[in-house]
Amino acid sequence: MNPIIRRITENRLNDFKGLSIEGEIPVSEEMLNELLQLFLLQKKKPKKTGEPSSSSASSENSVDFSQIFDSLDENDVKIELKEKQAVLKVTARKY
């Protein structure tokens, strides 16, 4: 994992005290349908037992975003539906 990303996750975002992010992410109807199809395909695939879910090399380079989100003091996502798209309203803060 990148040393900077490792520091951010290990310090639980303490280097970013005062962080405040608010924004909107538009997601088209087409994108939502594609995401649903991917989700359904993953559910249909049989899980293989005895095999690691990912190689050690890829896990060393991957970022566990759940660990970063857990480090936030406030995080919220709301969905607002508009014509042919959803809008994710995102708030993230570190006190």
Report d(CA 87, CA 89) in Å as an integer.
6
pTM, to two decimals? 0.63
pLDDT of amino acid 72: 94
Spell out the domain ranges in the chain.
Answer: 3-37+62-93
pLDDT of amino acid 30: 92
pLDDT of amino acid 76: 94
Q: Average pLDDT for consecutive 10-residue bins of the chain (95 residues)?
A: 87 94 94 90 73 56 83 93 91 96
pLDDT of amino acid 54: 52
pLDDT of amino acid 13: 94
pLDDT of amino acid 28: 93
